[in-house]
Amino acid sequence: MLQYTKVMEGKLLHMQSKKRKLQSSKGFSLSEMLVAMLILTLTISIVSGGVVVVKEAYEKITIKADAQVLLSTAVSALSEEFRNAQDMESDSFYSPLQGGRVWLESEATDNNIYIVSSDGLGKVPLVTRKTIPKNLKLKLDSLTYVDGVFTCHIEVRDRNNNLHEEQEISVRSLNAS
């Protein structure tokens, strides 16, 4: 029995020491928790603000790059048409690439420049629809033909009509007389 009492006293002492340890660890106070929450909130707001700025910068860079690619594609296509043009008049020319007399058209309501056939075959887009990003449009601002040289001004605008890229090109026809 004496041995049993010693074992029970040992267990009781052990439980009392654990209870003292639990009572001595106080944890966090309310003010410490509030400061931690404040720091966490500030960190999250700073990080989320940075994400918004990075997203806006990415969108601007993407639009600029898309506009440059679209302008380059349009300039290449127009240069090819003008270089091969024959039998030029003030508003139309014979296009061996299209197989007939054509003129160029840019509609305010559409997002492309069209090669319009005079023989009633309709309009052919200068660049494919897949080439033009959804938020951009091509505009042929002016076109002149003087002394065998085509000169035109091309613009790339967004849906809100903000100008992103523009270029004036002059191309001498290989068949100029």
Q: Which residue has the tokens 């605008």?
A: 157
Q: pLDDT above 70 covers what percent of the chain?
A: 84
What is the β-pairing status of strands 100-106 and 113-117? antiparallel
DSSP-derived secondary structure for 23-48: HH-----HHHHHHHHHHHHHHHHHHH
Residue 8: pLDDT band (50, 70, 90) is: low
DSSP-derived secondary structure for 107-120: -TTSSSEEEEETTS
Alpha carbons 73 and 115: distance in angstroms, whole number: 15
Residue 156 pLDDT > 90: yes
What per-residue confidence (pLDDT) applies to 6? 65
Nearest to 87, CA basis, from 101, 66, 99: 101
- By three-state DSSP, how is residue 125 classified? strand
26-55 pLDDT, tens digit each? 678 888 899 999 999 999 988 888 888 999
pTM of the full predicted structure? 0.70
81-124 pLDDT, tens digit each? 899 988 887 778 888 888 888 888 887 677 888 888 887 778 88
Nearest to 133, CA basis, from 114, 158, 105, 110: 158
Which tokens in the block code for residue 3? 């041995």
Question: Do residues 95 and 85 touch, judged by C-beta distance below 8 A?
Answer: yes
Q: pLDDT above 90 covers what percent of the chain?
A: 33
Question: Which of 24-28, 121-125, 141-145 has the highest mean predicted lDDT (pLDDT)?
Answer: 141-145
Choose the weakest-confidence range: 11-15, 106-110, 125-129: 11-15
Q: Half-sphere exposure (CA, 13 Å, Cβ side) for 121? A: 14
What per-residue confidence (pLDDT) applies to 104? 87
What per-residue confidence (pLDDT) applies to 27? 78
What per-residue confidence (pLDDT) applies to 69? 94
What per-residue confidence (pLDDT) applies to 133? 87
